[in-house]
Structure 1
């Protein structure tokens, strides 16, 4: 028995599996001891921070957890705002390039420079602001047809609830606006190309995802983050490749019917830059990417909040429907002459700004305002508080009240009542020469969706208690699962 016992014991001692188990046990004991010793020093504070962030996220609040990397300077007087908007070394392009990572999300776009600023501003202004309304007037019937087709598609994908069709507000608004803006920008042929259309829809979402990720990750990780979140910039590269081909081929190869083609942004940007030594196909395609992001992203988010306000304020659905019915058949000019519609959209945006800060600029070098009141260090962000300006009781009596009628008190010819106004008291479009030149396109897309929905449907939330928004730093973000019920109001003659 004893020799057999010794043999078994010897086999047990020499068993490699036992060795591995003992080795892992010793390593585990060591790791546990080290972790325990570091728990109160390092890991527990980190754990508490993560739990706090998750709690804030669930409560509808989120922010950059590690604090700002550059100072933010706020200006407030009209003179300061005008100077902020026009100072050459205070760059609009650079501040948003840092925020959204244009080096990655816009294919190595150079942004820390004020070179050729005047050339770019003049082109965008002439293309979108000066000629834009004329082209939008001509495009309206085609846009209306596009809207009807795409709304029908959305309704087929909805679900029947309480005698109506339930749709997710955020996704529906994004898709409807993207389709309308796509036709304004690129015409019918490209808009109907499903691969290109899908890329147009994904690209702004990629930009926002990268913005959020870039804020919380070290800068050296940005290329990896961008590659992972955007599938190596798939949508960006597809859009730019198609645009490069169209721009490079010039106007002679535009195959679309003249009635649409001649009024698109793509056609006109080619026409306006055909003799320019500065603009080339690569630079134009990059610029169109930037304009597309601004034009397609903000309108659907504002539209989301307009729909929420309409659901909450049934009396305003009736008022706006009455105004619309008095002006059918609708076209671009009639939509621009509806004071209640303008007032409701304008008041919604005033009470629900997408960003509580506006007219952001990055100081490319140290700058002191001409009145000597503020000195801005290089790299700092200078801006205005959009929330404070739009809640100033001297400009907006009873500023916390939702009152679209406040804009009807203006003089009949005053532009202050228009949603597309540019004003230091309503800075959502920016200010001065760099005010958003595409605001007429954005406004039309929103007005078309709102007017067509109101003429055909009563709107209500599927769940009156559902969460509707959350925030990231100064930005308001829609919840993706909030749903609206569209219940047929009655057949209307358009």
Structure 2
């Protein structure tokens, strides 16, 4: 990921040297200055161009400098804005966007209730990922639902209902792959030493491929390598393109996309599967017997608009978008949970006891394991993958009730990381309390209440949607795949807890870097995984 920073900063230097847009002011002077230093109005002020003064030169220059500072200090800037805002909207500038952050329930509801034709999640995702340059030429619509929203039913209903069928296989795959990687990394880095981020990424890619595409592709090592590379290439290339001046973006994006080997191979290997499924659908309609499939390829095809059925290519484009989001978020969240298990080992034993007793029930239903659930949620609260949530990009001008204006292209969003560290929502907010969200009665029953504080006024689950825990977004567009994500993470983390004792090699060393609003794990962070003696487990056995 260090290459992401270097190349993106290089892109920044280039875009600083070239014109980034004109026509925002009146007259030649305004055009020149607005091109070199695009102004973004403060949330409640109308932008004007007064007579030239010294401040007229300095102010846009400083604002431009501050927008570039966002790249490396985005989380700090968002947090500082939140601390000063007193729940009022505030703006943060980036080189390519103006963000308006809202945190009050009233303003969050206004954003969530705005029509998709005005504030669009699709348009925000399109800007983030630059799919025309990073997803094999796919350029989705800015407006949600133009081609159907079958992916929502696929993730929220079909995939969620299939979780109990997936979990036994995911458990087996997780254990075998972890054991394999543990041996490989131990040989390379020293006894029991593993770079945690690359390790978890590879395990996530394997298990996610089995869930979304089926076991046949998941057994293809070349496909898994391309699936892994696709995520890395998307992150890197999208960042470079976003930092280019608008007139250079198509040129640079085209050059970059021509070299995306993983994207091309990933697409090429998925395409025959989608074509075969479409043929099977035609055969089934004629009365022939065809194989039954329970994976996202099948579900995306079945939930696509019937009036205008999707081609095999269009099905794969949808899967590529789902794949990127799931692999990136899942792997990063799991890495931070492992970090916290190393830093807070007092939680390991009660979670192990829960796994020994209740894992089979979890695997049967896809629900449960409240101690592990709470630990993951607390880890995600204090080390969120993203400091920003509820993203919407303005397709039309939009005004909040207090008069704050979003121009076309501006973003509305919530400062999720700051909200989740607010003492008003989380007593002792900066302290790690792994069982913060557990029902105190449960801790009392297992004799753990005196050992672990539960400062929250009421228990909650990782998958709960709430304005004070916006990890999954908020309102009507909250993440439809969160139930799958929760179960997926519990399988991998549960296996590690049951099979290994883990310890950070350098617990005081930096474990992540920040880029924009994201926290990206450092690839060189090492964890020792010492195999446990399973014969000493409770009753000498475990459901895992």
Shorter chain as denominator, the TM-score bin is 0.7 to 0.9
Alignment of 1:322-341 (within 5 A): 322-329=353-360, 331-333=362-364, 336-341=367-372
**In structure 1, what is the equivalent of residue 273 of structure 2?**
246
**Residues 102 and 416 (structure 1), Cα distance of their counterparts in 2 relative to 1, 3 Å cut:** farther
Equivalent residue number for residue 193 of structure 2: 166
In the TM superposition, what is the alpha-carbon distance from 1:105 to its structure 2 partner? 0.9
SS in 1 for 2:162: helix
Q: CA deviation at 1:125?
A: 2.3
CA contact (8 A) 1:100 1:211 kept: yes
| Cα deviation, residue 67, structure 1 | 4.7
1:314 alignment partner in structure 2: 345
**CA deviation after TM superposition for structure 1 residue 372, in Å:** 4.7
Pairwise mapping of residues 21-420 of structure 1 onto structure 2 (< 5 A)? 67-87=94-114, 88=116, 89-111=118-140, 113-114=142-143, 116-117=145-146, 120-121=148-149, 123-159=150-186, 165-223=192-250, 225-226=252-253, 232-250=259-277, 262-273=293-304, 275-329=306-360, 331-333=362-364, 336-369=367-400, 371-409=401-439, 417-420=460-463
Q: Could you tell me which residue of structure 2 aligns to residue 13 of structure 1?
A: none
Contact 2:96–2:242 at 8 Å: present in 1 too?
A: no
Q: Give the 3 Å change call, closer, same or farther, for CA 390–307 of structure 1 in structure 2.
A: same
Q: Radius of gyration: which is bigger?
A: 1
| 8 Å contact from structure 1 (residues 136, 263) kept in 2 | no
Task: Find the residue that maps to 1:417 and give its secondary structure.
Answer: coil
Residue 478 (structure 1) aligned with residue 518 (structure 2):
no
The answer on whether the counterparts of 2:97 and 2:409 sit within 8 Å (CA) in structure 1 is: yes
The CA RMSD measured in Å over matched residues stands at: 3.3
Alpha-carbon distance, 1:326 to partner: 1.7
What TM-score, normalized by structure 2, do the two folds share? Answer: 0.72
TM-score by length of 1: 0.79
Unaligned runs of 5+ in 2: 1-63, 79-92, 282-288, 443-456, 535-540
Alignment of 1:440-451 (within 5 A): 440-451=483-494
Do the aligned partners of residues 310 and 160 (structure 1) sit closer, same or farther apart at CA in structure 2, a change above 3 Å counting?
farther
What is aligned with 1:423?
A: 466
Equivalence for 2:284: none
The yes-or-no answer on 1:439 pairing with 2:482 is: yes
Q: How many residues align?
A: 432
CA contact (8 A) 2:98 2:410 kept: yes
Any unmatched runs of 5+ in structure 1? 1-48
Question: How far did 1:225 drift?
Answer: 4.7
Tell me: CA distance 1:183–1:416, structure 2 relative to 1, closer, same or farther (3 Å): farther
Partner Cα separation in structure 1 for residue 408 and residue 276 of structure 2: 42
3-state DSSP class of the match of 1:406? coil
After superposition, give the CA deviation of every residue in 1:449-489 in whole Å (9 maximum; x if it has no partner): 11001011111012233321111122111100001111122
What are the superposed Cα offsets for residues 338-368 of structure 1, whole Å, 9 maximum, x if unpaired? Answer: 1111110001011011121111111011012
